[in-house]
Amino acid sequence: MPVAGARVVVPLGPRKLTGVVVGEVSAADNSYKLKNILQVLDAGAFVPPDVIKLTQWVSDYYLAGPGATLSTALPPHGLTSRVDRFKTVRMVTLTAAGLDAVDRLTAHPRCAGDDDRSDGPTLGAKQKQALQILKGLPAGLSAPALAERGIAAASVTRLTTLGYVAVREERVDRDPFEHAVGAQRPDLDTARRPLTDEQQAAMTMLTPLAAARAFHVALIHGVTGSGKTEVYLRLADEVRQSGRGVLMLVPEIALTPQVAALFRARFGAAVAIQHSGLSDGERHDQWHRIRRGDVDVVIGTRSAVFAPLSNPGLIIVDEEHDTSYKQDETPRYHGRDVAIMRGKFAGALVVIGSATPTLESYANALAGRYSLVTLNRRVLDRPMAQVQVVNMREEIAAAGAEVVLSRALREAIKVRLAEGQQSLILLNRRGFATSVLCRQCGASLECPNCSVTLTVHSNQGLPSRPVPRRLGEGGSAEREGWRGRCHYCNFTKLVPKACEQCAAPYMERIGFGTERVEAEIREAFPAARVARVDRDTVRRKGSLVEILEKVAGREIDVLIGTQMIAKGHDFPECTLVGVISADVGLGLADFRSAERTFQLLTQVAGRAGRGERPGQAIIQSLVPEHYSVRLACDQDYRAFYEKEVEFRRAMRYPPQVAMVNVVVRGKTFNEAIDGAHDLAAATRGGRGFVVLGPAPAPLTKLRGEHRAQFFLKGTSRKAMREALQLALSRKPELAKRLSVDVDPLSML
Ligand code: ADP
Ligand code: ZN
């Protein structure tokens, strides 16, 4: 019998499929129709048994199919092929005969080999050069590396025939670090600098917890720039030396390359990296390196929580508040919560850290379920950024409704440019305009597949001159290339010059996004070197890294972007952060909108003044009195927490209760809402939870499908899970039109 975690070939109807053994049932058990395994592919476990156990927990907790869950834990091609797909390279080394030939060449540089004397066969110049190169390299050189030095394959072939060199295929691991920002920076080894008092206190508390070899969770609440990473590094070092592995989750590697680079600098080749931006080949190789036990530190995004690392003793979740830890397709797991479960199974210390912890985590810490470590001060007594709020209602009164840059922000950017310092400008909305609207009949441009309006983007980069407000004025929309795009399904079309409903030529742009901010800044500061980071500009692989490298190399003066630029970057030269509109998220029908806004503003303000010079943040808002804006400006997490948790308690929202969001899709709205009614009715009636709805989902139509939703809300997740499982078993026909989101982060 194969062990759990081994791959096997099994019959499924007429087909043969590869699967993974998750457990055993007795042959006498007749609740299954059993068939024989055709072939066992692995003698031992391919997927480690504790990872199998973790995926089973995920599939149970999140009500997701075991197959879909298990596949998130597999490497690329994990099941499609028996042969693991390593990349190989041809390594060329000198033989003993080749060594003799080089010695002769060196002894008689002018004559050796180039005449018919008894010393040996004639060699061409390139062949001689190849021998010289290889002489100093006992491990040899790869054929591509030789080619780079002008030695073609033909020369190698001839040398092989003469017996001067040997060629063998060698496996190479594709290394995603080769191209990472900062991967080669020499100043990263900071292991010997003294810790701050707060860092030291954190170590005093965490070291015994790590050494205890028992499950425990600690939350590090450390303000931006307080040096959390150094604490992670030192703990990781201790755990490695005790012989256990370290797993570190980060929101997005491309956005926080410095963290990965720091770990590489400290621990060298023992670090593996795993994230979805890698090529299949890279991911495959990294997975197998970890599985072989070649590494003891794994850094990766969400799915790295399933990395086949044996015996993890420390699991770190950096920026635990980041929403990218939640997967928005089946299985809809939260990387932080799965990390905590993994720590529980492994008897490991789990350290989660943030400057703006989620209410859930902070509540757990206050309740004593997690240890709480607080870092209140920035390292080296650097001051927090000084934050100023600009009331945009006053700016609009002074400069008109079209104003994007307030006077204060404009002035502050100007000062930075004059002093050669960098500015970071945030607007969490991409595109040029939010939508277009016909001034005559009010029609807007809508997505045919989704219930949203199309966002306006400029077609060919940015227009070179100021853009008229009305698209009909001064040049056709086609020539200027305005394009409406759906941010959900990517449907696009050119923005028409005249309204499609009433033919009036008054299509007006409403609202603005990052493209517009870029245009305004280029216009206001023509000499500034400007770059923009949002999902539109970083579509091409590597382009984000390129931009960030330019920022780090001070080739950019003003960086504009969406929340991508608010994440953990450490730009020491940035002394100004501007927020164009703090209110973008506040209008959303989501009980977490205040928390999101507070987190985003606090995080982005934390990007300023991380170097020698103090920083300033300017936050523009139409509602400066809103508590999430006000308390972010005060950088007062605790006050925000108290206020927000009170609101959640009053409204019975998480963390007070748990929620499950169930969306039923349909070809028509009736089909969707009828299905939702049936399922909700079958779910109702249990103890410990209520069922709310069904109702049309906020996005009633998405990618051509209609959607209705209902919620389960209560204190017993177990009761909710069991009720839903039972309801689903009664309505199996709905399974294909359903998504279940346990602990949803978005209510859409
Ligand atoms: P956080 O993740 O808490 O926002 P970082 O870990 O990025 O903060 O640290 C902020 C900056 O302080 C980094 O540039 C880091 O190199 C530096 N730093 C951290 N610890 C120390 C220390 N003990 N002494 C000097 N500089 C430090
Ligand atoms: Zn759409």
Report percent pLDDT > 70 for the chain.
Answer: 91
Cβ–ligand 1 contact at 224 (below 6 Å): yes
* CB 688, CB 626: distance < 8 Å: no
Predicted confidence at residue 179, as pLDDT, reads 47
Confidence band, pLDDT 50/70/90 cuts, at residue 484: very high
Q: Does residue 270 sit in helix, strand or coil?
A: helix
Spatial separation of the C-alpha atoms in residues 492 and 431, rounded to whole Å: 13
Q: How far apart are CA 744 and CA 748, in angstroms?
A: 9
Q: CA–CA separation, 363 vs 20, rounded Å?
A: 38
Q: Is the CB of 188 under 6 A from ligand 1?
A: no
Give the Å distance between the CA of 511 and the centre of ligand 2.
19
How far is 568 from 58, CA to CA, in rounded Å? 28
Determine if ligand 1 sits within 6 Å of the CB of residue 199.
yes
Confidence at 175, pLDDT banded by 50, 70, 90 = low
Q: Is any atom of ligand 1 closer than 6 Å to the C-beta of 222? A: yes
Residue 96: is its pLDDT beyond 70?
A: yes
The phi-psi region of residue 63 (left if phi > 0; otherwise alpha if psi is between -120 and 50; otherwise beta) is left
**Closest-lying ligand 1 atom to the alpha carbon of residue 226:** 3
Q: What's residue 81's pLDDT?
A: 54
Closest CA to 637 of 357, 285, 346, 265: 357
Which of ligand 1's atoms lies nearest the C-alpha of 196?
23
In this predicted structure, the answer to whether residue 448 has a pLDDT above a threshold of 60 is yes
Average pLDDT on 207-230 reads 95
Instruction: Among 221, 235, 373, 379, name the best residue to mutate to test ligand 1's pocket (greatest count of ligand atoms within 8 A of Cβ).
Output: 379
Whether 204 and 196 have beta carbons less than 8 Å apart is answered as no
Pick the more confident residue, 112 or 524: 524
Residue 435 Cβ contacting ligand 1 at under 6 Å: no
- The mean-pLDDT minimum among 299-308, 665-674, 725-734 falls in 725-734
CA angle 591, 594, 596 (to 5 degrees): 95
Which among 230, 235, 258, 262 is positioned nearest to 247, based on CA atoms?
235
Strand partners, 712: 660, 691
Average pLDDT over residues 122-131: 87
User: Is residue 480 pLDDT above 80, yes or no?
Assistant: no
Q: Check residue 256 and give its pLDDT.
A: 66
Q: Which of 41-50, 128-137, 141-150, 474-483 bottoms out in mean pLDDT, i.e. has the lowest?
A: 474-483
Structure tokens at 170: 């060698």
- Residue 116, pLDDT above cutoff 70: no
Beta bridge partners of 373: 220
CA of 356, nearest ligand number:
1
> Among all ligands shown, which has an atom nearest to the Cα of 455?
2
Ligand 2: centre distance to CA 499 (Å): 20
Model confidence at 29, pLDDT cuts 50, 70, 90, reads confident
Q: pLDDT band at 605, cuts 50/70/90?
A: confident
Query: What pLDDT does residue 349 have?
Result: 98
Please determine, for residue 9, whether its predicted confidence score (pLDDT) is greater than 50: yes
Contact 350, 212 (CB under 8 A): no
Nearest CA to ligand 1 atom 22: 195
Q: Which of 121, 200, 219, 114 is nearest to 164 (CA)?
A: 121
Is the CB of 379 inside a 6 Å radius of any atom of ligand 1? yes
Peptide bond into 744 cis (omega under 30): no
Instruction: Check whether 446 has a pLDDT greater than 50.
Output: yes
What's the alpha-carbon Rg for the chain, to the nearest Å? Answer: 30
**Other CB atoms within 10 Å distance of the CB of residue 450:** 20
Cβ of residue 609 lying under 6 Å from some atom of ligand 1: no
Q: What integer pLDDT is reported at residue 119 of this predicted model?
A: 60
Burial of 546 (0-12, 13-18, 19+ CB in 10 A): middle
Amino acid at 340: I
Is the alpha carbon torsion for 564, 569, 573, 578 positive or negative? positive
Q: How far apart are CA 240 and CA 293, in angstroms?
A: 13
For 467, counting Cβ atoms within 10 Å of its Cβ (0-12 exposed, 13-18 middle, 19+ buried), the class is buried
Residue 265's pLDDT band (boundaries 50, 70, 90)?
Answer: confident
pLDDT band at residue 339 under the 50/70/90 scheme = very high
pLDDT of residue 465: 45
Q: How far is the CA of 279 from the centre of ligand 2 (A)?
A: 28
Average pLDDT over residues 265-272: 88
Closest C-alpha to 308, from 215, 245, 238, 214: 245
Q: Is the pLDDT of residue 611 over 80?
A: no
Q: Evaluate: CB of 418 within 6 angstroms of ligand 1.
A: no
- Bridge partners (DSSP) of residue 39 are 9
476 — pLDDT class (breaks 50, 70, 90) = very low
Residue 478, pLDDT score: 45
Mean pLDDT taken over the chain: 87
pLDDT at 343 over 70: yes
The dihedral built from the CA positions of residue 71, 75, 76 and 78, taken in this order, carries a sign that is: negative
- Model confidence at 569: pLDDT above 90: no
Phi-psi region of 285 (alpha: psi -120 to 50; beta: other; left: phi over 0): alpha
Instruction: Check pLDDT > 50 for residue 474.
Output: no
In percent, how much of the chain has pLDDT > 90? 56
CA distance 63 to 331: 8
Q: Who wins on pLDDT, 566 or 309?
A: 309
492 CA to middle of ligand 2, Å?
9
Give the number of whichever ligand sits closest to the CA of residue 487: 2
Q: Which of 452-461, 479-488, 729-738 has the highest mean pLDDT?
A: 729-738
d(CA 705, ligand 2 centre) in Å? 10
Q: Which of 45-49, 151-155, 227-231 has the lowest mean pLDDT?
A: 151-155
User: Of residues 514 and 260, which shows the higher confidence score?
Assistant: 514
Question: 657-684 in b/e burial notation, b at 16+ Cβ within 10 A?
Answer: bbbbbbbbbbeeeebbbebbebbbebbe
pLDDT at residue 133, as a whole number:
87
Protein residue closest via CA to atom 5 of ligand 1: 227
Please check whether residue 665 is in contact with residue 737, taking contact to mean a CB–CB distance below 8 angstroms: yes
Tokens at residue 191, please?
Answer: 């292991």
Buried b (16+ CB within 10 A) or exposed e, 555-594: ebbbbbbbbbbbbbbbbebbbbbbbbbbbbbbeeebebbb
* Residue closest by Cα to atom 10 of ligand 1: 225
Instruction: Give the model's pLDDT for residue 181.
Output: 42
> Which pLDDT score, from 0 to 100, does residue 461 have?
54
Local structure of residue 618 (DSSP, 8 states): E
pLDDT for res 176 = 59
Model confidence at 464, pLDDT cuts 50, 70, 90, reads: very low
CA–CA distance, 445 with 708 (Å, rounded to integer): 24
What pLDDT shows up at residue 98? Answer: 84
Enumerate residues 6+ apart whose C-beta is below 8 A from 323.
596, 745, 746
| Least confident span in 6-10, 71-75, 127-131, 272-276 | 272-276
The more confidently predicted of residues 448 and 252 is 448
Pocket perturbation via mutation, ligand 1, pick of 230, 567, 610 by most ligand atoms within 8 A of CB:
230
646-652: list long-range contacts, CB under 8 Å, 24+ apart: 647/594, 648/359, 648/591, 651/591, 652/713
* Dist. CA 255 → ligand 2 center (Å): 27
234 alpha carbon, closest ligand: 1
**Chain segment 56-68, per-residue pLDDT in tens:** 999 999 999 888 8
Residue 360 clears pLDDT 50, i.e. is over it: yes
Q: Does 466 score more than 50 pLDDT?
A: no
pLDDT at 53: 95
Which ligand is nearest the CA of 202, by number? 1
